[in-house]
Amino acid sequence: MRILAVISGEYGQRHVANLGRYGPAAWTIDVWQAPAVLPLVIDYPEDYVPDTLPSTDLILACGEQRGIAELLPDVARVTAARAVIAAIDNEAWLPRGLARQLRGWLEDMRVACVTPKPLCSLTESHYMIGRRRRIDYTDPLIAEFAHYFGRPELRLTIDPQARHITAAEVARDTVCGCARHVAQGLVGLSVDEAEQKAGLLHHHYPCLASMGIDADYGDTLMHISGNLIKDNVRQQLTPFKPVQYMAPGNRSD
């Protein structure tokens, strides 16, 4: 698969570095550095897109300013891309209204588009856009990408006698590499401390999702991202945690 990463800063650079290091060897990853400065109103987006860009199957858009999303239909046209992943890890970079417009523009071009919020909510069949709100999709290119990168999925090996994690395999990494960082830090921990430690490791990576309160979640996207990996860890730890029962006391007179 040929991937074009559209980036504008450190956020996108980290994503590209992780994809290049841990993605399938058959993937080809090119990078387009989007313009550093764009006007508030872009009348002619094509003026800001090169006439030639590498032929591409999938565009991964990780821009750090709002106007970059408006360039993506022209980037898709120039590259002949068939699918687009436009990350929302900060609504200032891609507001929900513009995300809806972007999906519509690309649908009219017969280009599949997903706008996961946060990016690490992407799975092979759906992605999140708010609390208890998700969008299902069916596109083989996006699904292939999400098989390797998206919603974190760790596979923990736990010693049932010692109740310690002996190994942590990364079945699906986050695009930024945070899940791999968390996995490495969990090995050797007891089941009683691993869930909390997973959250701390996530924040210390650090996650680059927004720390501002997001209206669609009523929480920060950084916390939503952290909860996704903590949920994955918790599910695997639960069978190894003792069940505690509370005995009622005697009723007083």
Reported as a pLDDT band with limits 50, 70 and 90, residue 226 is: very high
| pLDDT tens, residue by residue, 39-51 | 888 888 999 999 9
Span 70-95, average pLDDT = 96
| pLDDT tens, residue by residue, 103-147 | 999 999 999 999 999 999 999 999 999 999 999 999 999 999 999
Query: Given a cut of 70, is residue 250 above it in pLDDT?
Result: no
Q: Record the tokens describing residue 201, joined without a space.
A: 């490791």
Span 47-69, average pLDDT = 94
Reported as a pLDDT band with limits 50, 70 and 90, residue 36 is: confident
Span 153-171, average pLDDT = 96
| Number of neighbouring beta carbons within 10 Å of residue 123 | 18
Task: Walk me through the domains of the chain, giving residue ranges and CATH numbers.
Answer: 2-148 (3.40.50), 153-240 (no CATH)
Q: What is the pLDDT of residue 43?
A: 87
Q: For the chain, what percent of residues have pLDDT higher than 70?
A: 96
Please state, rounded to an integer, the average pLDDT across all residues of the chain.
Answer: 93
Query: Given a cut of 60, is residue 215 above it in pLDDT?
Result: yes
Three-state SS across the chain? Answer: CEEEEEECCHHHHHHHHHHHHHCCCCCEEEEEECCCCCCCCCCCHHHHCCCCCCCCCEEEEECCCCHHHHHHHHHHHHHCCCEEEECCCCCCCCCHHHHHHHHHHHHHCCCEEECCCCHHHCCCCEEEEECCEEEECCCHHHHHHHHHECCCEEEEEEECCCCEEEEEEEEEECCCCHHHHHHHHHCCCECCCHHHHHHHHHHHCCCCCCCCEECCCCEEHHHHHHHHHHHHHHHHHHHHCCCCCCCCCCCCC
